[in-house]
Chains A and B, each alone.
Chain A
Amino acid sequence: MHQWDTEDVETVAGIVRLLRRAAELSWIQADAGGPRSSHQLFAVGIDTAADEAANLLPRRVRLDGPTPVGQDPAALLGSAEQLLRRLCTEDPPPRLRALQSRVSELVWEANSGADA
């Protein structure tokens, strides 16, 4: 497990909350689209990113906190990406780097694909 300082832990917890909220909003869109909604793919992608972010931290770290403001999954993903960029300044651990690239892909998907 990567050693985080308190501020980093808070930042990752914030990223988890942003991603979970983005996933929640995306699922509302996906579920509204009916049984064959292609939004599911996007929502599953955000779920996965949120799970990976949560699993970066030890179980003892509390993840609760204020619900992120905003109703737009793309904007919430953008915020998560910015926070990740701040964490990934120098030689980040592979799992963090993988998460950053996953979130960047999701931001791209949100802004360019069916979910734009």
Chain B
Amino acid sequence: MPTLDRRTVGELLADSDSLARETLLDLSAGQSAAMVRTFGRVVDAAARLWAVLPPAVPPRRSEPDLMLRLRHVANGIAATTSAGHWPGPGPTDDRLLQIAHNLSRARILVERYGGDVQPTTADVRGDIAAARARIMHTLYVAAHGTAVAIIEHTKDLQEQLRIDIRRRRPVAQRPSVHESKAAQALSIRFGVFEQLVGRYVAGHPVTPAALGEMRPVPPASRLQSVLAGWDIQAHRTLLANPDAADLVRVSRIQALIASATAVVSEAAANQGIVDRQVAQRVIPFLDETQVAWTSVARRWAELTSPESRVDPLLVRAASQVRATVAATASNPTGWATPDEIAGRVDLPQTMNALHLNMVSTVDVAHVTRDIAATTPTLTAPARQIAMRAQGEAEIAADQGNTAYEGKTWATERQIATNQVIPLPTPARLGLIKATDHLIASCGSAVAAAAPLDPSESAQAMRPAARAPATRRSHHHVPTTPQHESAPRGPQR
């Protein structure tokens, strides 16, 4: 008979945090697959507990729900892995599983005994705030540990591949390049998760002194709320069997946000809020991201038909983004001047919101690629897509790939009636290539923009900051990013 778990909510949360830290102290590349498989359960359990905890402070209506955002990112990662990408099915990670169990047990306790708890006194509010901080910190460290384990795994694969090529081992016996790429992509997505939660952790440090201590949280700006709402809705729509028209809309809005980020960055540099040289380095990357999203939008537009409809909730979120970007950064003749922008919004806060959106954009780009690569039911009107497929086949032929020579992509009848047909392989590969370029652009922009962002987790996305990870016990457990003298990423 299992022993009865008599731990309190506080003890369960402390144990979860401690288990998450252990994942960093005992890192192993071999554990990465199991950690990826289990991570979704941790987030799910955390989100359920988060939902039943009373608020530490009265919730503001416009406050973006970070946990919802995190859950969507985790769902996106789970959708990728369940679509047959690495790591595929297999064993789970005991520590992460225990964390999920602890969080579920804590939720049961709160549901059963927490009904009477009213956050009326400072002590009670402090307890609740501490519990929330613990949950987020656990997710932060667990995501970081998983990301580092994946990076280790990727390095092992690449090293093994190098050895196998040198020894001329048969291709079938070498590690798959696809596995390595899929693992790399996942490590970036875990990095995105880590950055999103890192903001909360930076504002709510988990230290003995701070636990139980209430800190005033600055109210979210309108732009912050709208961009968070957009990110949540984009994930939600894209993970629920989207229409090509949804992908066009997501891509166009992301392009608009990239432009607005460039405009606001310029204004912030002009006003001395951010380093001018850094802003000048970032803006070309933002422009490239805008172009990449636009190009992807055009590709998806080729797959739409007159019958395509956009998810009404996505339309609403897009409309809010447009209105807020217009109110922040435009005037009747075009983009607003730096002085106008500075007069309308709190520039540091706006830069923060836009930077955070840049980070989550990386994940949206990955989800977009997954849809392009794995959705078997993609279709398109015959005329346009036959031309596109032929164009891609000719590019492939120029590169020495003759696999498509002499093939046709639609029958005369399909073209005459512009019938909707399954997406031909060369057109799909072209779409995947465009999304790969998009992912690279978004990643470069985030890396270049990291110095604009004071939070420690943002620094971790800088390529230079991703120092080579060494095995076991060399990893600093991220605790209180705010307490560091200079902004610096968790040690890897």
- Interface flag for B291 (CB, 8 Å): yes
Contact indicator A31/B294 (Cβ below 8 Å): yes
CB neighbors of A among B216-261 (8 A):
245, 249, 252-253, 255-256, 258-259
Bound-complex Cα distance A54 to B298 (A): 20
Given the interface contacts A44-B322, A45-B322, A54-B310, does A36 sit within 8 Å of B249 by beta carbon?
no
Contact indicator A55/B249 (Cβ below 8 Å): no
| Chain B residues whose CB sits within 8 angstroms of the CB of A45 once the complex forms | 322
- Count of chain B residues with a beta carbon within 8 Å of a chain A beta carbon: 35
- Interface flag for A3 (CB, 8 Å): no
Bound-complex Cα distance A37 to B259 (A): 8
- Report, as a range, how many residues of chain A touch the other chain: 20 to 34
Contact indicator B330/A36 (Cβ below 8 Å): no
- Interface flag for B372 (CB, 8 Å): no
| Chain B residues whose CB sits within 8 angstroms of the CB of A52 once the complex forms | 312, 315
In-complex Cβ contact of B259 among A36, A64, A65, A114 (8 A): A36
| Chain A residues whose CB sits within 8 angstroms of the CB of B262 once the complex forms | 35-36
| Chain A residues whose CB sits within 8 angstroms of the CB of B307 once the complex forms | 59, 62-64
Bound-complex Cα distance A57 to B262 (A): 38
The distance from the CB of B102 to the nearest CB of chain A, in whole angstroms, is 44
Contact indicator B309/A114 (Cβ below 8 Å): no
- Interface flag for B290 (CB, 8 Å): yes
A45, closest chain B residue (CB) = B322
What would be 16 A-B contacts, judged by CB atoms less than 8 Å apart? A34-B287, A35-B258, A35-B288, A35-B290, A35-B294, A37-B259, A41-B325, A41-B330, A43-B252, A44-B256, A44-B321, A52-B315, A55-B310, A113-B333, A114-B333, A114-B334
- Interface residues, chain B, with chain A CB atoms under 8 Å away: 245, 249, 252-253, 255-256, 258-259, 262-263, 286-288, 290-291, 294, 298, 305-307, 309-310, 312, 315, 318-319, 321-322, 325-326, 330, 332-335
Closest 5 CB pairs of A and B: A64-B306, A35-B287, A38-B334, A35-B290, A51-B310
- Interface residues, chain A, with chain B CB atoms under 8 Å away: 17, 27, 31, 34-38, 40-41, 43-45, 47-48, 51-52, 54-55, 59, 62-65, 109, 112-114
